[in-house]
Amino acid sequence: MTLLAAEKVAFRYGGHNVLDRVTLALVPGEIVTIVGPNGSGKSTLLRVLIGALKPSSGAVTRAKGLKIGYVPQKLHIDQSMPLTVRRFLDLPKRVSDHDACQALETAGLTDLGQRQMAGLSGGQFQRVLLARAIIGRPDVLMLDEATQGLDQPGSASFYRQIEAVRTELDCAVLMVSHELHVVMSASDRVICLNGHVCCEGTPEVVSAAPAYRELFGTGTGGALALYRHDHDHHHHDHSHEAAE
Ligand SMILES: Nc1ncnc2c1ncn2[C@@H]1O[C@H](COP(=O)(O)OP(=O)(O)OP(=O)(O)O)[C@@H](O)[C@H]1O
């Protein structure tokens, strides 16, 4: 079953081609990460998939009644404005205490409802955005570079939270990220975008693909090493590995 699909989607801003024949599909429960250089159309693609932008050609199909939760790239809140976490969750639309509480818990935040938004750490702030996106239990959770401004351990921990959310809500996740090395271990599939889809597959397949290496250079060796590390639970015997 496909939740969401793009078929040969193109998008233009003025005369500028931003997306070119992008085809992809998302099935329930999978975590898909879109990677690509700055300006490669990642945010635009998410907005086309959500339906906020209309493709100039091609088609986007969404399963009937599909619910999408969205975590934006960044959100500025006036630091001087008093606003509790609980009250923030009521924007733009009031939610029940039960739903708010459950979303905060799923996002890894308990007992934070009465805290001021301005007093949160970067990681807590992003989890509040996550909580807001999962109220109403979406079928698809979309995140646009949601860990910008977090340090590497902070990002890694955020992505682990995303995996926990996926398991709890049984939703599909489509996220955009620059931090390949951090996000790879949390992704079932990676799509490498540069206006068009350069390559896609499991994190291991994509990081070995020539098109990907051309875009991201040799720094990706480390990405792969970390990915393997996260999934390899027999890495104590290094002499054995070296002999292989
Ligand atoms: N509202 C707009 N009007 C005109 N051009 C735009 C608009 N928004 C984005 N663009 C252009 O579309 C291209 C793709 O932008 P987009 O934000 O989708 O890329 P991105 O891959 O998400 O980039 P980044 O990694 O920097 O966030 C860029 O060249 C950008 O300048």
pLDDT surpasses 90 at 214: no
pLDDT tier at 242 (50, 70, 90 boundaries)? very low
39-79: per-residue pLDDT in tens? Answer: 999 999 999 999 999 999 999 999 999 999 999 887 888 88
In testing the pocket of ligand 1, which one of 17, 43, 192 has its CB within 8 Å of the most ligand atoms?
43
Atom of ligand 1 nearest to the CA of 44: 18
Q: How confident is the model at residue 219 (pLDDT cuts 50, 70, 90)?
A: low
Output the pLDDT for position 89: 95
> Which ipTM did the prediction report?
0.96
pTM of the model as a whole: 0.86
- Taking a C-beta distance cutoff of 8 angstroms, is the pair 209, 217 a contact? no
**pLDDT confidence band for 152 (50 / 70 / 90):** confident
Residue 163's pLDDT is what?
A: 93
Mutational test site, ligand 1, from 40, 53, 176, max ligand atoms within 8 Å of CB: 40
Atom of ligand 1 nearest to the CA of 14: 4
Closest C-alpha residue for ligand 1 atom 17: 43
3-state helix, strand, coil in the chain (%, to 5): 40, 25, 35
236 pLDDT above the threshold of 50: no
* Ligand 1 binding pocket, CB closer than 6 Å: 13, 18, 36, 38-44
pLDDT tens for each residue of 12-26: 998 899 999 999 999
Determine what percent of the chain is predicted with pLDDT higher than 70.
89
How many whole angstroms from 43 Cα to the centroid of ligand 1?
A: 7
Is the model's pLDDT at 233 over the cut of 60? Answer: no
Gap from CA of 39 to ligand 1 centroid (Å): 5
Give nearest CA residue, ligand 1 atom 7.
Answer: 13
At 230 the pLDDT is 45
Assign domain 4-75+82-232 to a CATH class.
Answer: alpha beta
Q: Give the bridge partners for 199, in sequence order.
A: 192
Dump pLDDT digits (tens) for 86-144.
999 998 889 999 999 999 999 999 888 899 999 999 899 999 999 999 998 999 999 99
Nearest CA to ligand 1 atom 1: 13
Residue owning the nearest CA to atom 13 of ligand 1? 39
Average pLDDT of the chain to the nearest whole number:
86
Taking the centre of ligand 1 as the mean of its atom positions, its distance from the CA of residue 116, in whole angstroms, is 32
Question: What's the rounded Cα separation, in Å, for the pair 20 and 16?
Answer: 11
Which ligand 1 atom is at minimum distance from the Cα of 178? 25
Pick the residue whose CA is nearest to atom 29 on ligand 1. Answer: 39
Q: 3-state class of 113 per DSSP?
A: coil
Which residue stretches of the chain are H helix? Answer: 42-50, 85-88, 97-106, 122-134, 152-169, 180-183, 203-208, 210-216, 220-231, 238-243
Q: Is the pLDDT of residue 145 over 60?
A: yes
Shortest CA distance to 108 belongs to which of 163, 62, 34, 70?
163
Higher pLDDT, 89 or 236: 89
According to DSSP, the residues that pair with 196 across neighbouring strands are: 194
The answer to whether the beta carbons of residues 6 and 49 sit under 8 Å apart is yes
Of 11, 12, 44, the residue with max ligand 1 atoms within 8 A of its CB, to mutate for a pocket test, comes to 44
